[in-house]
Chain A
Amino acid sequence: MTTVRTVLIAVRDLRASPLRNLLTALSMLVGVAAIVAVSAADQLVVSAVIAQQEQQQGRASTYEATLPLGEEQSEDALKMHEVVRGAVTDADASAALVASEPVTLRAVDGAATSFNLIQVEGDLQSVYRRPVVVGTWPRPESTLSPAVALNQEAADKLGILEVPAVLRWEVTTDRSATVVVSAILTDGQTEATAYGTWSAIAAARAEAPPLAAPRLLLTSSTVSREVLEQVVTDAAHRVGLPGPIELRRVDTVAETQQTVATARAALFVCGIAALVVAVLGILNVGLATVTERSRELVVRRAIGARRRDVAAQVIGSALLVSLLVAAVAVATVILVVLGVVPRLTSAAAITDPVTVPWPAVRDGIAAALLTGLAGALAPAVSASRLPVADALRA
């Protein structure tokens, strides 16, 4: 019997007991939906929640040290950062020095507004997931005005719709400097924030800027915290600071992944339990159906169906129901992922576009087909063993 005939017979078989098929599908749907949800949630957490955490707290394995330096010791802080960067570059690690100060900025013909200026030295993008949405930052050194980047909140406050844009920075009460907004980046903060490299800020201020409570950030997925601590302590000694300097972990990726793994395991166990129950249900209904339809099945045998044709009919029907269940589960997940998730999440927080969770689709179809197959095998064998001579028994 060809595949086309098998499919045709399976489709027609759905008409045999529509209510029973519907109930079977519903019992299967719970488990399949759980499996699909586990898979889809996993992807969403990775693409949205962890991305958001990397944006705000730092990428996986990010450590921070608050340097015991006064504002006037900015040169020491920069030197220490340079030493650390030189030491970790070959060890697949990144370092950035950040400090912040309040500044007053205003757009041309605009009112002066207070902002938090993050002073950056080093590779901020390797430490945080804060992608540039528009423009370029940091900008290569040039003779043009010093460049800063704004977050979306700051851009909105200043009415900046496109870059580059020119700003006035009230450097002191009697002096202002021109700076260029070269980029808008997404940092997930609700506070208006500007970002500038140490050299750009120094150029704007016409002097070395003070670094208030500078923080040294290090990210590495391969180097241990102890090794990084030793690197930072050695660097501190090089600039004459007392040690040791302790690093504390600031990212929450590992905790989130652990929570997700626990939740995933719990949901997975629930899903498997639901599928096992569904298999038993399908098995029960399948065996009852074979008994109920034994007359029809032996008549089919009498008029030419082979044992494997009858088995294929039973399995084909179950797989067809399974595919319908998978389609419903997958359609629901796609609807939720594409329709609901973007509405529940801040546009500034999500950095990766929400896409169809194809692994969840794959897992849902596989779970449904395996459940259907497991539930239909025994009934199929039972059906194929019905004695054909019973066709002549009234």
Chain B
Amino acid sequence: MKTYAGKVRALAGISFTVETGTIFGLLGPNGAGKSTTVKILTTLSRPDSGSAEVAGIDVLQQPDQVRRLIGYVSQKPQFDPEATARENLHLQGRLYGVPHRELRSRSQALLDHFGLGKVASRQARGYSGGMQRKLDVALGLIHRPKVLFLDEPTTGLDPEARASMWSEISRLAADEDVTILLTTHYLDEADQLASQLAIIDHGRLVAQGSPNDLKSELRGDAIQVELTQAGVDDHVRTTLVRLGGVREIVVEGTTVRARVDHGASAVPGVLAALESAGVAVTSVTISRPSLDDVYLRYAGRPFGDDSHHQAQASATTEMEVPGE
């Protein structure tokens, strides 16, 4: 548990396990406890009570050992803008005690991997936003960490740079044999990259599973029917209830929302029932449940601009964050 001055309890017992070589996403609104979780697991902060482990090593007892095992890419840019990409990587490697010869080849490999080879001898301040972010990620990898913490790696990037960063990240887990814990502002990012994710709210873990599992827990697709006229709420509801298999029916003006097990096969029946009841329809939309729906259900409010995601990964065993 971590209590900041003013006695705000940030975390109240979170525990999760991440399979080696996979990407784990951690989602939750601002203040949910994601950043605190990452800070504790990366040895930046100490919890007031409880324990935390990364790759089987106690974060509180042996922070130095944990530091050698993890890489960290913070939300804020962490490269030195006055130095070149190569100088940045060399300094980082020397701080980790990477032997001279290995450091040179490792730096070159990372520069090539992230497409920074051509600008490696120029000051990083002149790089594009996407290149600077890649340099940040490369800095986190110089010492071949077992676990990499990526704190909102694509926030502030343009769509093209974001797409490019996504492909780098998904390749990383495989190529570098590294377990990645990802936090992000974007639900689609977590959906695309993470094989497992957890939703944190008010310092508690409220849901955990693969994006698909979490979505299928919502049981079924959303259908939305537009009517030609409003004011037939009860009539529509009774008709659909009688049809069976249609749940969570909401009628608002001319819009009807409901959930069905299988959207495509349910729609003909729904349309036929409405028609025979004398209700005219203008359009029908079917949508698979999205992470937004998952989020809405577990966090109890829509996923807004102020929300974040985070993901965490642990190499072998369990990463446990402060219990009470």
- Mutual binders A and B: no
